[in-house]
Amino acid sequence: MRKLRSLWIRLISPFRRRDADQEFAAELESHLAMHIEDGVRAGLSESEARRQALIRMGGAEQAKQAYRERATLPWLETLLQDTRYALRGFRRNPIFTFTAIATLALGIGATTAVFSVVDRILFRSLPYAHDDRIVSVGLVQSLERQEFTVGGFFFDWRDNQKPFEAFASQQALPHACDLVEANPVQLNCIHAQAGFLPLLGISPVVGRNFLPEEDRPNGPRVALISYGLWLSHYNRDPDILNRQIDVDGSPARVVGVLPKGFELPTLQAADVIMPMALNEGVERKSSPGSPMRTFARLRPGVSIAQAKAELEPLFVYTRETLIPAQIRKDFHLSVRSLRDRETKDVQLTAWIFLGSALAVLLIACANVGSLMTARGAARERELAMRSALGASRGRLIHQTLTEASLLSFAAAVTGMVLAEGLLRVFLAIAPTGIPFLLRAGLDLRIALFTGLLSVVCGTLFGLLPALQTPRAVALAARATKSRDRTVLRRSLVVGQIAISMILLSGAALLLKSFQNMREQSLGMQTQGVLMARIALPGFRYNTGEKKMDFYLNAEAALRRLPGIRAVGFSDSLPPGGWHDDERFADLAAEGKPHTAQGIGGSVVCRGVTPDYFQALNIPIIRGRNFTEQDRTASEYWVVLSRLLATRMFPGEDPVGKRIQRLRDGTWFAVVGVAENVKNGGLMEQDEPEIYFLRHSMAQDWGERAPVGEVMSGAAPLMIVNAILPPSAVAPWVRSQIAQLDPTVPVEIEPLTQTVSKLADRPRFQTALLSFFAFSGLAMAVIGLYGVIAYMTVQRTQEIGVRMALGAGRLDILRLILGEGVRLIAMGSFLGLLSALALSSVMKSLLYSVSPHDPLSFVVVSLLMAFVGLAATLIPARAAMKTDPMEALRTE
């Protein structure tokens, strides 16, 4: 307590101790006077008494010094002094100050904004207890890359596994459900086992989790609701517990409210969670049983690899007993950390973004370091003077570091503001599918990161100039040459150029890839095509019959409209997004031994009506299309894509041949071959494709639930090709559907927009990396200009001498340009080498561009050379115009 009080007084004393020194001087004087008086009284002479008194004092100045050190905190004094000195310096040189802060703020701001986006993807802990021990467990296969389990083996695994202390599932898919109340809403519902939330360490903010007896068939119907639903629909009603809510027409009792910000480990949206209530006995015997997503918590000290090894026997048993022999090889056991399960596919992009932002920051730091060095050179004599007057080396470094910290602190504050702005831009242009982006924001953690950045950066560029001791000769020399300062600055510039070369190369590759992607032929028409997704509430349209009636009525109504070319249905649409798959090995051509080894990859499947091909303008190149009459016939017909036709019937005409689907033994007759379309996403290779005819029969209109996608992807999509622009057609489509059933939600999107959305992510990556590359380039070029201009001024006298000795203006130009060219060449060379080494990391982000694409690298080198030379030319031209007489007179 006493220590604290004392520390506080000493801390604030520098700010109020104007007269404390004078006061102590007065006290000391009074002390001495009394002492002298005593001495005189004892018989000493006045001067002798004074001498003795001073000796006993130990020297008046020493006493004052000791007193001052006790009165304040000496390091604080130094700091304040340095700060005042630095601020004075900044005020005297506002251009330097502004440039330094702006440069750094750009670097820090960009890095902060990017960090806030990638933080949750790469670093921030997941919102579950023991998040580092939660894993996703299950099988993977070529048609489903995310771990899944089914009732047929889940219970075996749960009961016999050893590496986990908790093991539980959620339903594979949330489904659209209707909350039927005074104001009905459509929600996302999902079922989960009673052990699921405890596994994640989640307890409801209000109420409780499911009880085991509620997770049994025919148990009480209960529900947990999300915080968002509680807030928006029930206005945070504290009496929500035990309330009966009506979900899809049957009542459920609310037993709890999920915490704010709760997310499923699959990141799917869920407003209502209900018990899975599986019938264990039935599931165990069924093959395959209900699909699930299973998560588990590792026992402490067990690694993922160990857990996987321990599960291997269970997996082998499951594979041998449950999976048909011909596709067994396609199934693998997978155990992944939850972070990888959530964000594996964007981690690379996140690292590239963060790396680029840090590279820009590094260039900015180098730039400011270079500026400070130049400033140091200008102040060399001043520093040498201070050194000569007794300032220690440490004291001078301290001074420079204080300046650097002040600059980087100001830059950090500006950078935070900039980051907030950049983040808004990101959110505005960002694609869907970058997880957590919408929730990215600047919080304390991000601010700490920014603070850390600025400290590191400040130390970095603060120490650079401080590393050079002011030499005593600087005092004597009339003009200092400061050769080693330019060496340092030149290596900084070479480094900057090299780093910006790397950034530029990355941006160039992405740009080219993006262009390739944009210009590729999709093999179908997108202009004037609309896609309508109609979400029929499952509890009212509860049979395939009812659904089919609705869709066929809608089709008929739309066909009657003027200007509509074609109205077709399909369960999915190229070029990207969800689609149904079949293994190639599962399709057999009649009378042919199966040629493919193993699985043979996957085949895209779509169930379409005849008008699908007209609506998307996909040409039939052999045989015929399905006809309207086929729809009511009972035969099974298919159309193959050209790729599939050549793979299944090489060198033959497939029309009239038959194909068997092995998994259920159904035979299909091939009626035609359609031209290939882009169907594996914009960046992937085309896949073979098979079109099944969607008959006008009830079973063809029920929804097939794909594993791993949102439910809406599976409902039939309506495709409308019209002469009029989509903006004119969309309201018609809406009103026609509303006439059939005014309550069903309809989502309409022009196909051009769907395709453009697929390109969002590459576009975002390209835009962001280009932004970094050009910021880096700009700063590197400014750095280059600064160094060359500085050297030119330093060499004014030399230039004068050269000219006096007969050097022409062109020689001078060559001299200065040569200096610049050397730096550019060295930097570009280093940059190119590193870029070539690094660019293969980006391979998976590139579409039909090699990571070592020569053209991109040549273009980037030329750009760098051009911009660099332009920056050098400005000081070089100035040097060329030097008047030798004046140059010789300076100094």
Partner 1 sequence: MGDKTDVWQGTLTLMVLRTLEIMGPQHGYGLARRIEQTSGDRLMLNYGTLYPALLKLEQEGSIRSRWGVSDNNRRAKFYELTKAGQRQVRKATADWEQTTEILARFLAPSEEA
Q: Which residues make up the interface to partner 1 (CB under 8 A)?
A: 2-3, 5-6, 9-10, 23-24, 26-28, 30-31, 33-35, 37-38, 56-59, 62-63, 66-67, 69-71
Our CA angle for 391, 87, 411, nearest 5°, is 115
CB of 50 to partner 1, least distance (A): 14
DSSP assignment of 426-447: HHHHPPTTSTTGGG----HHHH
CB of 2 to partner 1, least distance (A): 4
Our CB check for partner 1 shows the closer of 3 and 560 to be: 3
CB of 8 to partner 1, least distance (A): 9
CB of 46 to partner 1, least distance (A): 16
CB of 27 to partner 1, least distance (A): 5
Our CB check for partner 1 shows the closer of 63 and 830 to be: 63
Our CB check for partner 1 shows the closer of 43 and 591 to be: 43
CB of 21 to partner 1, least distance (A): 12
Q: How far apart are CA 838 and CA 359, in angstroms?
A: 13
Our CB check for partner 1 shows the closer of 24 and 351 to be: 24
Outline where 649-750 has alpha helix (H).
726-740
Find all residues with CB under 8 Å of 207, minimum gap 6, and list them: 224, 240, 241, 254, 255, 256, 257
Contact call for residues 136 and 147 (beta carbons, < 8 A): yes
Q: Amino acid identity of 742?
A: P
Structure tokens at 878: 């100035």
Classify 466 as helix, strand or coil: helix
CB of 32 to partner 1, least distance (A): 8
- Burial tier of 868 (Cβ tally within 10 Å: 0-12, 13-18, 19+): buried
Our CB check for partner 1 shows the closer of 17 and 622 to be: 17
CB of 398 to partner 1, least distance (A): 25
For tokens 């090489």, name the residue: 650
Residue 869: DSSP 8-state: H
Our CB check for partner 1 shows the closer of 12 and 870 to be: 12
Our CB check for partner 1 shows the closer of 59 and 731 to be: 59
Q: Amino acid identity of 659?
A: I
CB of 80 to partner 1, least distance (A): 19
Classify 526 as helix, strand or coil: coil
CB of 19 to partner 1, least distance (A): 12
- Best CA proximity match to 248, nearest among 276, 272, 279: 272
Q: How far apart are CA 223 and CA 258, in angstroms?
A: 10
Q: β-strand 580-583 against 587-589: which pairing, if any?
A: unpaired
CB of 428 to partner 1, least distance (A): 56
Contact call for residues 637 and 630 (beta carbons, < 8 A): yes
For tokens 């209109």, name the residue: 701
CB of 116 to partner 1, least distance (A): 44
CB of 42 to partner 1, least distance (A): 12
Our CA angle for 440, 445, 450, nearest 5°, is 95
Our CB check for partner 1 shows the closer of 40 and 662 to be: 40
Classify 674 as helix, strand or coil: strand
- Best CA proximity match to 406, nearest among 464, 483, 347, 459: 459
Our CB check for partner 1 shows the closer of 33 and 417 to be: 33
Our CB check for partner 1 shows the closer of 5 and 560 to be: 5
Our CB check for partner 1 shows the closer of 38 and 628 to be: 38
**Distance between terminal CA atoms of the chain?**
62
Q: Amino acid identity of 333?
A: L
Structure tokens at 482: 């400061």
Residue 724: DSSP 8-state: S
Our CB check for partner 1 shows the closer of 34 and 738 to be: 34
CB of 52 to partner 1, least distance (A): 11
CB of 131 to partner 1, least distance (A): 48
CB of 394 to partner 1, least distance (A): 23
Our CB check for partner 1 shows the closer of 72 and 572 to be: 72
Our CB check for partner 1 shows the closer of 67 and 636 to be: 67
Structure tokens at 774: 């050009």
CB of 14 to partner 1, least distance (A): 14
Contact call for residues 274 and 280 (beta carbons, < 8 A): no
CB of 502 to partner 1, least distance (A): 57
Greatest CA separation for the chain: 139
Q: Compute, in degrees rounded to 10, the torsion defined by CA atoms 355, 360, 365, 367.
A: 150
Q: What are phi and psi of 495, to 5 degrees?
A: -60, -45
Handedness of CA 87, 90, 91, 97 (dihedral sign): negative
Q: What are phi and psi of 660, to 5 degrees?
A: -110, 135
Our CB check for partner 1 shows the closer of 12 and 479 to be: 12
Note the Cα 838 to chain centre separation in Å. 19
Find all residues with CB under 8 Å of 309, minimum gap 6, and list them: none
Our CB check for partner 1 shows the closer of 26 and 205 to be: 26
Q: How far apart are CA 315 and CA 323, in angstroms?
A: 11
DSSP assignment of 399-419: HHHHHHHHHHHHHHHHHHHHH
* Exposure class string for 554-575: b at 16+ Cβ within 10 A, else e: bbebbeebeebbbbbbbbbbbb
Q: How many CB atoms lie within 10 A of CB 130?
A: 16
Our CB check for partner 1 shows the closer of 57 and 211 to be: 57
Q: How far apart are CA 858 and CA 845, in angstroms?
A: 20
For tokens 């009972």, name the residue: 634
Our CB check for partner 1 shows the closer of 27 and 443 to be: 27
Q: How many CB atoms lie within 10 A of CB 310?
A: 15
